Amino acid sequence: MRIILLGPPGSGKGTQAQLLVQRYGIVQLSTGEMLRAAVAAGTPVGLKAKEIMASGGLVPDEIVVGIISDRIDQPDAKNGFILDGFPRTVPQAEALDDLLKHKHLKLDAVIELRVNESALLSRVETRVAQMRERGEEVRVDDTPEVLTKRLASYRSQTEPLIHYYSERRKLSTIDGMMAIDEVTRAIHRQLLALGAVEPKTHARSAAKAAPAKTARGTRTAAKKSAQKPAKSGKKAAKSARSAKKAAKKAVKGAKKVAKKTTERTAKKATKKTAKKAVKKGAKKAPKKVTKKRAKR
């Protein structure tokens, strides 16, 4: 999954990027951090950037693209990445397209967090006023004046990217003024709709991004859960065997009772038949004797 988050300062890009990293197991690539890492590592591109930065100049787009190229080749970026702070201009977006095409990769989505600038300024003013009331120090870059300048810079340099990616059918716009969790759900639904993430696999990606301790705890819990059904199954099997034995005993007992009952019934019937026979014989005998006497 390869994503770009667009939006003016204060739109919540940083917060949403971290939530996406945790959920899908991808990495957040910040151009500033990548530049510092390349310089510290002493890579060829990093050494070039170091010279330019030391002289107070702006690092050219081709050097930034070169650093991004090296970074996305690293193992932790295999599952995907979120670009933070790049591209800022249309030429940078074109250079990124060429880079991804060269690496046989594609950009899955460009998510624009659209916000109300007046509301953003109002939020900053409220926050600054509250900090001053509490006696807290207000950062120089966290004032309505600075935000106004940053918003103007965004409109002139970065806003044209909205049209650029919209023409290429990569842009998805989400209301950034919603609550954080609502914005997160909206982004997830959009990624599902675009096919950037599969419903059954994003949970596994999030699990991979979880800390090792959490993973071990999950495995332990899963093992215990697996053992419980096994124990329950053994108990159920034992109960079934006991029930089967009891049923056999009951059948045998019923047969014995039935046999005894049949024998008793037969004996009674035999006695009755014998009695009847004796009675009939007793009745016939006197008649025969009387007839013989009469003939004499």
pLDDT in tens, 160-169: 999 999 999 9
Mean pLDDT computed over 251-278: 55
Boundaries of every domain in the chain: 2-26+79-210
Is 15 marked as a binding-site residue?
yes
Residue carrying structure tokens 């950034």: 176
- Model pLDDT, residue 212: 45
11 contacts 183 by C-beta, under 8 angstroms:
no
**132 part of the active site:** no
Q: Is the pLDDT of residue 258 over 60?
A: no
The alpha carbon dihedral of 46, 50, 51, 55 has a sign of positive
- Rounded Cα distance between 50 and 35, Å, is 9
- Rounded Cα distance between 206 and 209, Å, is 5
Query: Could you say which architecture CATH assigns to the domain 2-26+79-210?
Result: 3-Layer(aba) Sandwich (3.40)
- Rounded Cα distance between 223 and 213, Å, is 15
- Model pLDDT, residue 230: 44
List the single range of 28-42, 117-131, 233-247 with lowest mean pLDDT: 233-247
Is 92 marked as a binding-site residue?
yes
Of 25, 94, 40, 36, nearest to 65 by C-alpha is 94
- Model pLDDT, residue 145: 85
List the single range of 114-118, 245-249, 280-284 with lowest mean pLDDT: 280-284
**127 part of the active site:** yes
**Which pLDDT band holds residue 222 (cuts at 50, 70, 90)?**
very low
Q: Is the pLDDT of residue 200 over 80?
A: no
**Which pLDDT band holds residue 43 (cuts at 50, 70, 90)?**
confident
- Model pLDDT, residue 291: 45
Q: Is the pLDDT of residue 224 over 90?
A: no
Of 18, 122, 38, 34, nearest to 86 by C-alpha is 34
Q: Which residue in the list 101, 103, 132, 139 is annotated as catalytic? A: 139
Find the helix or strand (DSSP H, E) in which 27 lies. Answer: strand 27-30
Is 146 marked as a binding-site residue?
no
**169 part of the active site:** no
pLDDT > 90 fraction of the chain, expressed in percent and rounded: 31
Is 115 marked as a binding-site residue?
no
Of 83, 58, 85, 87, nearest to 71 by C-alpha is 83
Provide the mean pLDDT of the chain. 76
Is 134 marked as a binding-site residue?
yes
- Model pLDDT, residue 103: 94
In angstroms, the Cα distances linking 16 to 3, 144, 183 are: 12, 23, 8
**155 part of the active site:** no
**Which pLDDT band holds residue 45 (cuts at 50, 70, 90)?**
confident
Is 85 marked as a binding-site residue?
yes
Q: Which residue in the list 2, 13, 23, 50 is annotated as catalytic? A: 13
Cis peptide before 87 (omega within 30 of 0): yes
- Rounded Cα distance between 11 and 127, Å, is 15
- Model pLDDT, residue 229: 45
Mean pLDDT computed over 168-174: 94
The tokens of 247 are what?
Answer: 């049923």
Q: What's the pLDDT tens digit per position in 83-110?
A: 977 898 999 999 999 999 999 999 999 9
**DSSP label of 76:** G
**Amino acid found at 68:** I
Model confidence, pTM: 0.60
Of 26, 12, 3, 85, nearest to 206 by C-alpha is 26
- Model pLDDT, residue 147: 85
List the alpha helices (DSSP H) in the chain: 13-24, 31-41, 44-54, 61-72, 90-102, 117-133, 144-153, 160-167, 180-194, 202-209, 212-295
Q: Is the pLDDT of residue 237 over 70?
A: no
117 contacts 151 by C-beta, under 8 angstroms:
yes
Residue carrying structure tokens 């070039």: 48
Higher pLDDT, 141 or 206: 141
107 contacts 4 by C-beta, under 8 angstroms:
yes
**Which pLDDT band holds residue 283 (cuts at 50, 70, 90)?**
low
Q: Is the pLDDT of residue 50 over 80?
A: yes
**13 part of the active site:** yes
Q: What's the pLDDT tens digit per position in 10-25?
A: 888 889 999 999 999 9
pLDDT > 70 fraction of the chain, expressed in percent and rounded: 67
Report the chain's C-alpha Rg in angstroms: 44
